[in-house]
Amino acid sequence: MSETTLTRMDLSEAIFREVGLSRNDSAQLVESVLDHMSDALVRGEQVKISSFGTFSVRQKSARMGRNPKTGTEVPIDPRRVLTFRPSHLMKERVAAGNKR
C-alpha cells in the first residue's frame, strides 16, 4: 500500500495546474469547499459527491464496552460519528487499482 497522503496543498496545486486559477484562489476554493462540507455535516446533513461517495453523521447510543487488557466493563458515552460510504464507481475504481 502506498504511504503517500493527498493534502489540501496537493488539491489546490492540482486546481492551479488544471483549471488555471491562481495559487491563492485555488487554496481559497479548496478551503471553501471543505468548510461547506464540514458545516453541513455539523448540522447533521449528508454530503453526497456524485461518483465518489456519501459522508454522513450517525448517532451512536451509549453502551457497555470492555477494556481488552483488564477485561473490566467500561461505559461508553453516546456520540456522533462521521461515516463515509463510497459509491459503486469508487469501489470499482479502487478494486481495479488493486490488480496492478
pLDDT at residue 97 in the model: 85
Query: Residue range 31-43: average pLDDT?
Result: 97
Torsion of CA 17, 19, 24, 25, to 10 degrees: -170
Whether residues 36 and 64 share a domain: the answer is: no
pLDDT at residue 52 in the model: 96
pLDDT digit string (tens) for 79-90? 999 999 999 999
Task: Look at the chain and report how many structural domains it folds into.
Answer: 2
Whether residues 56 and 90 share a domain: the answer is: yes
Whether residues 38 and 50 share a domain: the answer is: no
Domain that holds residue 36: 6-42
CA–CA dist 39, 50 (Å, integer): 19
Q: Which CATH number belongs to the domain containing residue 61 in this structure?
A: 4.10.520.10
Whether residues 10 and 24 share a domain: the answer is: yes
12: pLDDT strictly greater than 80: yes
Does residue 1 lie in a domain region?
no
Mean residue pLDDT across the chain: 93
CA–CA dist 41, 94 (Å, integer): 25
Whether residues 18 and 37 share a domain: the answer is: yes
Distances (CA, A) of 29 to 8, 9, 82, 98: 10, 11, 23, 31
Whether residues 49 and 90 share a domain: the answer is: yes
| DSSP H helices in 1-100 | 8-19, 23-42, 88-98
- DSSP secondary-structure letter at 62? P
2: pLDDT strictly greater than 80: no
